[in-house]
Each structure stands twice: as structure tokens, then as C-alpha cells.
Structure 1
Amino acid sequence: MVPSWPRPDPAESLDHYARRLARDLDVRGPCLIGGASFGGIVALHAAKYLDVKGVVLIGSIRSPAELPMYARAARPLKCFVHVLPIRTLQWIVAPLSSQWFRRLSPFTWGLVGQFRRSDPKVFRWSLSRILDWRETPEPDCPVFQIHGDRDRTLPLRYTQPDTVVKGGGHVISLTHGREVNAFVNSVLRSVESG
């Protein structure tokens, strides 16, 4: 199941949001949860509110210490996130979502596609939560992480994944689906046998 992002309250904390998402999932019994990019961070926080056998991170990170330097340096600018013209920016980058550009730069095409489809309110809230993320989640289960070696959004050098996808950028679930699916299947087998 891939849930949609519940609309957050602008001041809602990451932990409160994760608790609400866990409640909305209405999962009974043990489960495996995960997410890509910021979704992985949310999954780590939601894990403490569910009976989780494992958390899968796809192009994501385990702690605020793994954020790249540019994200940590941008923390003082968080007060300006609410004035970002998200709709205008989505319109400006629209040409980069063409099929022609997909062949030229699949990594950028994937990021642009995700950005264009995002709800501006959720995007603003997510960006704010990344900039003020300080608490390292410590789920009571194993964390399984796959990451691209060419991820420029969350660079590989800041994290220690279980599996590295050669040539993979930030949106490896779109550009390297076969490798990501194989990784998730191996995690499922590992959790079921454990």
C-alpha cells in the first residue's frame, strides 16, 4: 500500500505527523514500512507507532547528521520557506518534465516530476521539517537502506547504506526500479525468515 500524504498543519512537528500517518494507515499486526527521500524519514519516525519488523529507506537517510552540508547551512533560512512561490516554480520547471528531457537526464527528470506533482502546502511543510530536523529516530527494528552512488540531493558520502546502486541518482525507484525491487524483495525474505 502506498498512502497519500495527509495534509499537514503548517506548524505540525515531524513526530506528530508521523504518529497521525501511522494511525491513518490502520495497520493491524506486524508490518514493513518504508519510503523514498523524505518519505523514508517519515517512515523512521512512524515506526515507533506501529508493530514494525523493518524500515526500508530508498534514497533516504537515517539521521539529521546525514543531511548534506548545504541543508545544514540553509537552516537559518527556514523562516523564508513560507514565501517560496512553489506554484510558479512548478510552472517554470515544466519543460524539464518532457519525455525528451527524460532521455537526456533521467535523474533531473525524476526530481522535476516529483516536484511538479507535489502539493505546495505539503512541499513547504516537508522542506521546513527537513531544515529543523534534529531528532534521530531509533526504531526497535532493523533499518534497510538502498542509495544511489550519484545522488546529489542526499549524497552517498554522508550515509552508510546496505546497498549502493551504481549510476543511481536521488530517484532510484524511478530510474533503477529493477534494483530497488530486488532490494525490497530481499528485505521481505529477510524479515519473513527472521
Structure 2
Amino acid sequence: MTIKMNKIPIYFMPGLAANPLIFSKIKLDEALFEVFYLEWEIPNAKESLNDYAKRIALNIKEENPVLIGVSFGGILVQEIAKHISVRKLIIISSLKTDLEFPRRLKLIKITRLYKLVPIGLLLKFIKLIELVSGEKMKQRMQLYEKFLSVRDSRYLKWAFDKVLLWNCTEINEDLIHIHGDKDQMFPVKNIKNCIVVEGGTHVMVFTKYRWFNANLANIILEGNSNPEASG
């Protein structure tokens, strides 16, 4: 008699404007896990983050999944977890509360300066850097362009607004936070109670894939442990 083992469903949510290719190098045991990828959808007019989270949650068909979100995707999976039961909630290169925002982003939030920058200008800035920078920077920007595929201005305006105006003071008790010590977007000095990855930047989910391949399965199965934070 063969006993069928139920696989643990894992849903990955990429960061702001990114697509699931950012997770392409992360490999989990297919005998234990079934992996799904969530994607950004264009928000409705004046749609709240809470309502958006409910809408994205409709794409989650498996019961009691593990949710893993990167950066703004980490914020979104926290909001999704308010509406569905989850086995585990893991955020990477993200924030557990708006108190973890760095000072410069708090200033931008207070002054609303980000509303003065045209979205089209931000998109053109990527191309400009590629033209004037050295070869290493060109390759990096080409890589970013591959991952940052959501270019709709409605989405980008909405996303910047929802990130900067996110208010959260209550932390999910079961949340697991993985953060790099070289993250410039959200410096680790502002982050409390996290698994620190040595040399990890804001895009470490791609650049430090070996660390995730070595440790992520154990973190999912065993909980908020502190594996060897290197590699």
C-alpha cells in the first residue's frame, strides 16, 4: 500500500514591480514542497492595500500555505495573512512594521516628496544609468530590467504610495524575517528579531540563492531558527 505524502504549498511574492523570475535560482525539494508564484496585478482606482491583498489572496488555491514575500511583497503577504490561514509567514529584505523604515524614507513619507517625481522619469532613469555606467553596472541594470517587468504607471504610483504610507504596529507572532546585513534600502540596524544573512543585499533572494537553497527548507519545516548566516 502506497501512502501519499501531502506536499507543503509555498507561495512566493516578488518585490515592488518585480516578476517571479527573481526566485528562479531557489530550489526546494519537490517531494516535500509544491511551489507557486504570485504576481502583481494592476490596482483598481483608489484600491486600498487591504482590498488589494484580498484580491491577490483569491489566487491562493491551496489551504494553509506558506507565504514568502520579498520587500514590498513581504508587506503584501503580511496583509494577505490577515485574511487567510497560513502555515508559515516568511518575509525577506522587508519590514515587519513601519517603525523599521529608515530615517530617509520616513522623511519622504512625511513630506510626500515622492509625489513630485514623474513615474516616467524613474523608468527612464534605468536606461540612462545603463548608457553612462561601466560594464559591471550595465550588466546589473540589464538584470534589474529583466526582473522589474511591471512598468504600468498606475501600479507604480499606487505601489510607492502604499509602501511609504504603510502603517503597521502589530507584528504577526509567527512571522519569520530574513534580512541581509548589506541591505541599503532597509538597513539592518533598523530591523529587529531577524535571521541575518552575511553579505546579503536587498536583492539577496537572487544573489544569495545558495544560502536560501541550503537553509530555506529547514526554516519552513522547523521555524525561526538561526542557521549559519553566510554564503
TM-score with structure 2 setting the length: 0.69
Q: Which residue of 2 aligns with 1:62?
A: 96
1:179 to 188, 211, 226: 211
Please give the alpha-carbon distance, in whole angstroms, between the structure 2 residues aligned to 1:165 and 1:134.
26
Please give the alpha-carbon distance, in whole angstroms, between the structure 2 residues aligned to 1:137 and 1:47.
13
SS of 1:26 mapped into structure 2? coil
Q: Which has the larger radius of gyration?
A: 2
8 Å CA contact 1:33, 1:55 repeated in 2: yes
Unaligned runs of 5+ residues in structure 2 are 1-35, 224-231
Q: Does 1:25 align with 2:59?
A: yes
Please give the alpha-carbon distance, in whole angstroms, between the structure 2 residues aligned to 1:78 and 1:103.
33
Shift in CA distance, 80/159, structure 1 to aligned 2, threshold 3 Å:
closer
Shift in CA distance, 48/117, structure 1 to aligned 2, threshold 3 Å:
closer
8 Å CA contact 1:31, 1:54 repeated in 2: yes
Unaligned runs of 5+ residues in structure 1 are none
Shift in CA distance, 176/108, structure 1 to aligned 2, threshold 3 Å:
farther
Shift in CA distance, 21/8, structure 1 to aligned 2, threshold 3 Å:
same
Q: Which residue of 1 aligns with 2:87?
A: 53
Q: Which residue of 2 aligns with 1:15?
A: 50
1:188 to 213, 217, 220: 220
Structure with higher helix content = 1
Shift in CA distance, 108/60, structure 1 to aligned 2, threshold 3 Å:
farther
8 Å CA contact 1:40, 1:58 repeated in 2: yes
Which of 152-161 and 173-182 deviates more? 173-182
How far off is 1:88 after superposition?
3.2
> 1:63-102, aligned counterparts within 5 Å?
63-78=97-112, 81=115, 84-94=117-127, 96=129
Count the aligned residue pairs: 187
8 Å CA contact 1:34, 1:57 repeated in 2: yes
Q: Which residue of 2 aligns with 1:153?
A: 185
Please give the alpha-carbon distance, in whole angstroms, between the structure 1 residues aligned to 2:97 and 2:198.
23
Alignment RMSD (CA, Å)? 2.9
Please give the alpha-carbon distance, in whole angstroms, between the structure 1 residues aligned to 2:214 and 2:135.
23
